[in-house]
Amino acid sequence: MPVIKVEGLSKVFGKNTKQALKLLDAGKTKEEILKQTGSTVGVNRASFEVEAGEIFVIMGLSGSGKSTLVRLLNRLIDPTEGHVYIDNEDLAIMNKKDLLRVRRTKMSMVFQKFALFPFRSILENAEYGLEIQGIAKEERSKKARTSLEMVGLGNYIDQYPSQLSGGMQQRVGLARALANDPEVLLMDEAFSALDPLIRKEMQDELLDLQETMKKTIIFITHDLDEALRIGDKIALMKDGSIVQVGSPEEILMNPANDYVEKFVEDVDRSKVLTAYNIMKRPETVNIEKHGPRVALERMQKEGISSIYVTDSKRNLKGYVTADDASIALRSDVTSLLAIMKTDAPTVTKDTLMNAIFEISHNSPVPIPVVEDGKLLGIIVRGAVISALAGQGEVNLTHA
Amino acid sequence: MLNFMENIEKLPLGSWVSDFTDWISDSFAFLFDPIKNEFGDGLEDFADMLAAVPPVIVILIVAVLAFFLSGKRFGLAAFSIVGLLLVWNQGLWEELMLSFSLVLVASLLSVIIGVPIGILMSKSKTAESIITPVLDFMQTMPAFVYLIPAVAFFSIGMVPGIFASLIFATPPTVRFTNLGIRQVSEELVEAAEAFGSTGAQKLFKVELPMAKTTIMAGINQTVMLALSMVVIASMIGAPGLGREVLSALQRADVGTGFVAGLGIVILAIIIDRFTQSFSLKKGTNI
């Protein structure tokens, strides 16, 4: 069940919001509406769902409406139209008291420029969300400490924000957001103000944290690499509209339109595609039933020079080459065990393509993709190269 | 054609204002009289109390405060000692204390009235567009003019002096409070809201602490203006150093006038550095 469900969410800045919405229905562009009504369309009928524990990235260039969209989600900006359901409560129409409750307990926000309170110590900053709920000093201090320790700032609690580096300040921002233990974390370009090395470090750390905390994260960014790196799902925005929602692979391999295609054409695919995306169904022989004859027949039929050996439960045992099989056949060896080789390097379905590329280079046989000892598929060298070139078939739905 | 103004009678603007002032003075006498009497008595008691403290003790307290407020440096403390001793030596100690109590009370009232108005202005565009021209009016109208209704409402003495200086000195506090709150970065305000702050929590936990430096600068201005009003208010019988200046002026006595003026300068410098030291303290070590 989705934690957040957004339906037809729109924001028009200006006076003639009703008229602007009508013009939107009539298919007018943002510029035409600005000219006719003087109103600016911030977000145009956004609809999407975010599942629990998912990192949902909203991506777009500046002016695409992504920052407005995230502010509509916690109603820092009031929507002109549409609904935002969090746990089936409609945030867009709820009263002030309920809104405060949702903001205090269900969603926290991390800001691009950190937005730390300069006159409060690190601990007091992390305590802020708890303090305004009226939680007793001791308890909130304990929770804030725990969350500061989670982001690795346990030793800095008495410092002030100006004494910390940008990366550390954003850790405080993250700790402050986590101290409330919210279900949903809204991150508005949270790492964009950091330099590239620190940004990557923070992305890794967020992913590490996410392993254990399993929050629902809505992450705004203008950086496609960042989106592909951390997103479970990506929504691409342009001129206030969501152009495409999908997994990183879907966005990359099947861009919905020219805009998305242009966006993704410079992306280093090898850092995004995984073994799962390019593996093929393997030809196998069963070690419990088959001998060298069956193995050789299958290889000849499929026109391949080696075949993988599994047991009845599809556990990978090894592989047999055509040469070995024909020698075995001539010398009346009936068991595959005698000629089976086990030196093939294996990968998992999440191995990134740039790693596979190295392995496939040195492997005499297609690379087996293995999960819990079971053979899921194989990767032939040609598939790696064609996928890197942006061609060839790619599996998009995760098992 | 060019003389068309001759055909238009002079608007009785002046008498309107007079009538209006009279009306206020009569209708609100029930309010003004107790202020004049009770508040006036209180003020005098306060001034007397200050004057009753032996000068040595006052000077010592000021010096110690100056030392710590200026970050444990001796400059301001030394200046305070020398300056205050000089005033004492010139036989103006009692006048100094009277002036100081006027400034103190007027400034306190200005802050108590000004900060909330400034907050209101920062929160409401309508309030801002109404109050701004009023503040402009209050600040550009020659300060002497306020003395006239002040006398009408409160007769002469300390109370009308404080009334006039309230009108004259409050605007900077209002303006700077408004400015300081409006200057708080939008992201910080959003952060406060995103965590579910109520309006009051946002104001007291984020906006006012962030605006503190700016507001203190406004208060510093207010105190300085109140001090300048002390001299002017002597024309309606407010006691203190201003009265010495005024009487020297009437007798064309340069020497006495200069000495009393010097006393005001010394008081001004000490008060200015004291209030500045509050505003310069940056947020990192509250």
Q: Do B190 and A76 touch (CB under 8 A)?
A: yes
Residue B210 at interface with chain A, using a CB cutoff of 8 Å: yes
Tell me the C-alpha distance between B239 and B97, whole Å.
10
CA end-to-end span of chain A, whole Å? 19
Q: Which residue has the tokens 């940008």?
A: A166
Tell me the C-alpha distance between B81 and A224, whole Å.
67
**Burial B107-130, CB ≥16 within 10 A → b, else e:** bebbbeebbebbbbbbeeeeeeee
Q: Which residue has the higher pLDDT, A359 or B211?
A: B211
Integer angstrom CA distances of residue A335 from A47, A285, A304, A320, A340: 59, 12, 20, 11, 9
Residue A111 at interface with chain B, using a CB cutoff of 8 Å: yes
CA distance B151 to chain A (A): 45
pLDDT of residue A325: 86
Chunked mean pLDDT (size 10), chain B, 286 residues: 76 89 86 83 86 88 88 86 91 89 92 95 94 91 86 85 90 95 93 93 94 92 90 86 89 90 91 81 44
Residue B200 at interface with chain A, using a CB cutoff of 8 Å: no
User: What strands lie across the sheet with A40-51, from one edge to the other?
Assistant: A40-51, A2-13, A81-86, A89-90
Give the number of beta-carbon pairs within 8 Å between A and B.
72
Q: Which residue has the tokens 């004492």?
A: B88
- Residue A103 identity (one-letter amino acid): R
CA distance B214 to chain A (A): 14
- A128, A131, A140: which to substitute to probe chain B, counting the most B Cβ within 10 Å? A128
**Burial B176-201, CB ≥16 within 10 A → b, else e:** bbbbbbeebeebbbbbbbbbbbeeeb
Nearest CA in chain B to A127: B195
Q: pLDDT tier at A397 (50, 70, 90 boundaries)? A: very low
What's the ipTM?
A: 0.77
Task: Spell out which residues of chain B touch residue A76, defining contact as CB-CB under 8 Å.
Answer: 190, 193-194
| Residue pair B214/B174 in contact by the 8 Å Cβ criterion | no
Q: Do A132 and B284 touch (CB under 8 A)?
A: no
Position A184 pLDDT exceeds 80: yes
List the single residue in A104, A118, A186 with the smallest CB-CB distance to B196: A104
**What is the enclosing helix (H) or strand (E) of A310?**
strand A306-310
Q: Which residue has the tokens 């999960």?
A: A371
pLDDT of residue A121: 94
Tokens, residue A135: 């939680």
Strands A40-51 and A55-59: unpaired
Residue A159 at interface with chain B, using a CB cutoff of 8 Å: no
Nearest to A109 by CA among B197, B284, B210: B197
Integer angstrom CA distances of residue A129 from A186, A216, A243, B9, B192: 14, 18, 35, 67, 8
Tell me the C-alpha distance between A378 and A277, whole Å.
11
pLDDT of residue B6: 77
Q: Do B195 and A129 touch (CB under 8 A)?
A: yes
Instruction: Report pLDDT digits (tens) over A216-247.
Output: 999 999 988 888 889 999 999 988 889 899 98
Residue B126 at interface with chain A, using a CB cutoff of 8 Å: no
User: What strands lie across the sheet with A316-321, from one edge to the other?
Assistant: A284-286, A306-310, A316-321
Residue A98 at interface with chain B, using a CB cutoff of 8 Å: no
List the single residue in A113, A119, A131 with the smallest CB-CB distance to B286: A119
Instruction: Report pLDDT digits (tens) over A67-95.
Output: 999 999 999 999 999 999 998 899 989 99
Q: Do A115 and B284 touch (CB under 8 A)?
A: no
- Residue B138 identity (one-letter amino acid): M
Q: Do A117 and B194 touch (CB under 8 A)?
A: no
Integer angstrom CA distances of residue A348 from A107, A120, A353, A365: 35, 47, 11, 16
Helices within A159-304 (DSSP H only) = 166-179, 196-213, 224-230, 248-253, 258-264, 275-278, 292-302
| Residue pair A56/A227 in contact by the 8 Å Cβ criterion | no
